[in-house]
Chains A and B, each alone.
Chain A
Amino acid sequence: MLTKNFGRNLINAFAVTAMLATTSAASTAVAQDANAVVMKNFDFAPMSITVKVGSSVTWKNLDGEPHTVTSVDGLFRSGALDQNDSFTFKFDKPGTYKYLCSIHPRMMASVVVQ
């Protein structure tokens, strides 16, 4: 019984994985220009995101406290983002762009553009 279930689960697992792989490949191709970062619990998530030159990153604040997306080198600055506000910036040049929240500067993250 156990073996039968295990076998079935394994096949299902493979099927789901295969499906996921296809789906994510498809979504990568379609959503190449939309890369998302959220502010949640006083953190940027993910803390590092890698995107292609010419693509945009969209930040969304999920916290009850406003945050900002402020680049260390002055390239981009969102101003105060209230809960559920978003900010999008398009990266035209390769490089590593560090940024922080200017209201809570311990919140630091980066965008790697390749």
Chain B
Amino acid sequence: MSSDSEVNQSRRGALKCLAFGGAGTLFLLSGGVLAPIDLALAASKKSAHAMTGTPLFLQISDTHIGFNKEANPDVAGTLKQTIDFVNAMPAKPALTIHTGDITHLSKAEEFDTASQLLSGLNITELHTVPGEHDITDGIGTEYFNRFGQASANKGYYSFDHNGVHFIALVNVMNFKPNGLGAFGDDQLAWLEQDLKGRSSSTPIVVFAHMPMWTIYEPWGWGTGDADQATSYLSRFGSVTVLNGHIHQIVQKVEGNITFHTARSTAYPQPTAGDGPGPGPLKVPSDQLAKMLGVTSVKISGHPSSAVLTDTTLG
């Protein structure tokens, strides 16, 4: 319980730690304790490698290709910058997870541009889930044309990599009236089946676009039926839940489950309740790079634990 209080940092505390880092801040989460470590990636790639070892995989989120307003007139540029940044990492992740809002308006040409840019990653294996911006026609025609095979167009699927069980979930096709996302009964039934019979020492990584815990209900930051999903996951020794949607990092640890939302590569959003809604947040142009970034995740150890590294573009 005492480790929980160290981990459940206030957002302000987390921001202070993030500000410390300059080019990037590394959080080591090990055994439920979150400790910030100052890390200037630009200055010292050697120390980065020594501290983190080989990241298992990369989380990228909310690329919003097609957005062109004040908060960032060049989201393709910042995505390219992100990809160059990832390609220059001293240790190459084995696979990439995109937690959705690949495009801004679900348009074919936006998906084309996004795919083209993402193919510049030297990580060849890419797994995606859609965000609500990717399926604005209601059925996600363009999204599923490109990314539907993994799930036979259902949107949810699972796969294994190096002993880690990955589960992709969709919570943007079934909104609740209060604005929270939802999985729906079919997907929850599938999830229960998918987990049945797996050893509880199997490390699990779940990824979905909307936060799988309620961060701020008035802005729809949460998933209405997430508790049911979480109940199937709680028996496992190491569960990492990766989400996007809110364009900022919020993190929570509950038992053996670590919940984490990622930054966007396109534009930041205000903190919960700060303004009329979760729209694009314009910041001075020299601040933008500090608010965009990616996350790398390493899972290791016996019993397994997750080390999450959030890095910014500037």
- Check: B105 CB closer than 8 A to any chain A CB: yes
- B179 contact from A41, A43, A70, A104, Cβ within 8 A: A104
A108 to B178, CA, bound (A): 10
Q: When the two chains form their complex, are residues B277 and A103 in contact, meaning their CB atoms are under 8 A apart?
A: no
A64 to B281, CA, bound (A): 10
Which residues in chain A, 32-55, are within 8 Å of chain B measured between CB atoms?
41-43
Count of chain A residues with a beta carbon within 8 Å of a chain B beta carbon: 20
Q: When the two chains form their complex, are residues A80 and B105 in contact, meaning their CB atoms are under 8 A apart?
A: yes
State whether A66 and B136 are in contact (beta carbons under 8 Å apart), knowing that A41-B276, A106-B218 are contacts in the complex: yes
- A64 contact from B176, B220, B280, Cβ within 8 A: B280
Q: When the two chains form their complex, are residues B277 and A105 in contact, meaning their CB atoms are under 8 A apart?
A: no
Chain B positions 72 through 116: 1 when the CB is less than 8 Å from some CB of chain A, otherwise 0: 000000000000000000000000000000001110000000000
Report chain A residues within 8 Å CB of B279.
42, 63-65
Q: When the two chains form their complex, are residues B280 and A103 in contact, meaning their CB atoms are under 8 A apart?
A: no
Q: When the two chains form their complex, are residues B175 and A105 in contact, meaning their CB atoms are under 8 A apart?
A: yes
- Check: A102 CB closer than 8 A to any chain B CB: yes
A65 to B138, CA, bound (A): 18
Q: When the two chains form their complex, are residues B136 and A42 in contact, meaning their CB atoms are under 8 A apart?
A: no
Name the distance in Å between A26's Cβ and chain B's nearest Cβ: 35
Interface range, B side = 20 to 34
Q: When the two chains form their complex, are residues A82 and B70 in contact, meaning their CB atoms are under 8 A apart?
A: no
- A102 contact from B104, B138, B176, B280, Cβ within 8 A: B138
Chain A positions 75 through 107: 1 when the CB is less than 8 Å from some CB of chain B, otherwise 0: 001011011000000000000000000111110
Chain B positions 260 through 283: 1 when the CB is less than 8 Å from some CB of chain A, otherwise 0: 000000000000000011111000
Chain B positions 169 through 187: 1 when the CB is less than 8 Å from some CB of chain A, otherwise 0: 0000001111100000000
Closest to A65 in B: B279
Q: When the two chains form their complex, are residues B69 and A105 in contact, meaning their CB atoms are under 8 A apart?
A: no
A23 to B53, CA, bound (A): 74
Name the distance in Å between B298's Cβ and chain A's nearest Cβ: 34
Q: When the two chains form their complex, are residues A80 and B175 in contact, meaning their CB atoms are under 8 A apart?
A: no
Q: When the two chains form their complex, are residues B105 and A102 in contact, meaning their CB atoms are under 8 A apart?
A: no
Name the distance in Å between A41's Cβ and chain B's nearest Cβ: 4
Chain B positions 201 through 223: 1 when the CB is less than 8 Å from some CB of chain A, otherwise 0: 00000000000000000111000
State whether A102 and B276 are in contact (beta carbons under 8 Å apart), knowing that A66-B105, A79-B106 are contacts in the complex: no
Chain B positions 231 through 263: 1 when the CB is less than 8 Å from some CB of chain A, otherwise 0: 000000000000000000000000000000000
- Check: B299 CB closer than 8 A to any chain A CB: no
Report chain A residues within 8 Å CB of B218.
106
Q: When the two chains form their complex, are residues B138 and A77 in contact, meaning their CB atoms are under 8 A apart?
A: yes
A63 to B277, CA, bound (A): 10
Q: Give 7 closest A-B pairs by Cβ, nearest first.
A: A42-B277, A106-B179, A41-B276, A80-B136, A65-B279, A80-B105, A105-B175
25 cross-chain CB contacts under 8 A: A41-B277, A42-B276, A42-B278, A42-B279, A43-B276, A64-B70, A65-B277, A65-B279, A66-B105, A66-B133, A66-B136, A80-B104, A80-B105, A80-B136, A82-B104, A102-B132, A102-B138, A103-B132, A104-B179, A104-B277, A105-B175, A105-B177, A106-B178, A106-B219, A106-B220
